[in-house]
Amino acid sequence: MRGFNPKTGAFRESPTRRIDRIREEAVKRGLDIIMLSTGQPSIPPPIEAREALARDLLAPYDRKLYSYTPSRGYSSTIEAVILEMRRWGVELERDQVTLTAGGQSALFGTIMSLVSEGNEVVVLDPMYFGYWPLLDYAGARVRIVETSIDEGFQPEEERLKEALSSETRALIIVTPDNPTGRVISRETARLIADLAVEKDFWIIVDEAYRTLVYEGEHTYIYNYAPEHTIALNTFSKDPGIPGWRLGFAYGPKSAVERIRLFVQETVYCPPSVAQRLVEHYLRDDETRMSHLNMVRREYARRRDALLEAIDEMLPGARYVKPGGGMFVYVDLSRILRGRLDSEALAEMLLREKGVATVPGTYFSRRGGEFLRLSFVGEPPERLREAVSRMRALLKEKGLL
């Protein structure tokens, strides 16, 4: 064989895919699996939006629905996105939005458009695992700003000021965060925006969970630094269509145009059916907001049930109550005390107890004592059952 482009060595199997493989094997052995590993919503989009889409599909042949769409997406879907962003106080023009094939395609298009070999990219650690291989592929020099559980995973002002300089090409910030659930404070958002303007770097803000906020509110950094911010979004989480692959990016026209061309070169256009559903969802104001409120209430209830179970059954476990998103990032260092790392623990939990989690090492080199637990995929009693199984395993291994 003649070999491969060495840069593609940066692409490794996604951690959650690896977990899926072990899970399938455990299912074959008859284990009942409790899924705390994925950020997959468990509530479908509202029935009104699904019915409207069904009507479109059953209507006489509407050729448009089965055709390629513009690489930017249908103009009617873009308009629905613009109205949606206006609802949250962000004013955008048409050329400032491009639809993508899921959040992942927005991530890839953005990193490929902004970062080249040797560029310095500042990231907050821990960070969503999707970014590490892309930065590696782009040849970025990654500069890490560590955040800690003691500060609620909020980046410290001094550390940000120290790391962000005229050398910086881009800063990546995920808010609400995966894995920590941190919602960036308004003050920090402002500080980052001011630094971006002063030092002239890009802010890549990942807003995948922007509407899933339970306490506080999401700050739209774009409004503070519109010429320096590219915001990445997905419809995988709200309204919950991860398999339908639809997301969007917004920001300055020149940057958005690069991302649009990236979508064109990779998938040609975002999927038509997903665009149609999202359009129905976003245009029906009343249904959209009542659905979102119901989802937020339900996920907050599940989050609280999981945290309560941890408090009760895992003495020594520490976490920051997630203000948004789908996960709690649990520090088990006081339980594990260096005797077992989180990768080994996650594997044992899945193989022996049927509890699927994600080890912290996928998000940070310092993640050896953390597990990421999703609270959205299972009802409260199953979340409790999962923690009880974790307790049983830790006891059996003499760790608790």
Ligand X SMILES: Cc1ncc(COP(=O)(O)O)c(C=O)c1O
Footprint of ligand X (CB under 6 A) = 39, 102-104, 107, 128, 130, 174, 178, 206, 208, 234, 236, 242, 247
Give the nearer residue to ligand X in terms of CB position, either 53 or 173. 173
Give the nearer residue to ligand X in terms of CB position, either 107 or 305. 107
Give Rg (Cα) of the chain: 21
Give the nearer residue to ligand X in terms of CB position, either 195 or 241. 241
Distance (Å, rounded) from C-alpha 283 to C-alpha 262?
A: 27
Give the nearer residue to ligand X in terms of CB position, either 99 or 336. 99
Give the nearer residue to ligand X in terms of CB position, either 271 or 354. 271
Give the nearer residue to ligand X in terms of CB position, either 226 or 270. 270
CB of 335 to ligand X, least distance (A): 26
Q: Among 73, 65, 103, 62, which residue's Cα sits nearest to residue 269?
A: 73
- The residue nearest ligand X at its CB is 103
Distance (Å, rounded) from C-alpha 106 to C-alpha 185?
A: 24
Strand order in the sheet with 358-359: 327-331, 370-374, 358-359
Residues 6+ apart with CB under 8 A from 137: 7, 8, 10, 11, 111
Tokens of 357: 């989690």
Distance (Å, rounded) from C-alpha 115 to C-alpha 137?
A: 10
Distance (Å, rounded) from C-alpha 373 to C-alpha 359?
A: 9
Distance (Å, rounded) from C-alpha 72 to C-alpha 69?
A: 8
Q: Find the distance separating the first CA and the last CA of the chain, reported in whole Å.
A: 52
Give the nearer residue to ligand X in terms of CB position, either 236 or 287. 236
Neighbour-count burial of 39, counting CB atoms closer than 10 A to its CB (0-12 exposed, 13-18 middle, 19+ buried): buried
CB of 175 to ligand X, least distance (A): 9
Distance (Å, rounded) from C-alpha 85 to C-alpha 127?
A: 25
CB of 316 to ligand X, least distance (A): 28
Give the nearer residue to ligand X in terms of CB position, either 69 or 335. 69
Give the nearer residue to ligand X in terms of CB position, either 37 or 104. 104
Q: Where are the alpha helices (DSSP H) in the chain?
A: 15-28, 47-58, 63-66, 75-87, 102-114, 131-138, 157-163, 186-199, 253-266, 272-283, 285-313, 333-336, 342-353, 380-396
CB of 85 to ligand X, least distance (A): 17
CB of 337 to ligand X, least distance (A): 30
CB of 399 to ligand X, least distance (A): 29
CB of 236 to ligand X, least distance (A): 3
CA-based torsion, 219, 220, 221, 225: positive or negative: negative
> Do residues 227 and 258 touch, judged by C-beta distance below 8 A?
no
CB of 260 to ligand X, least distance (A): 17
CB of 39 to ligand X, least distance (A): 4
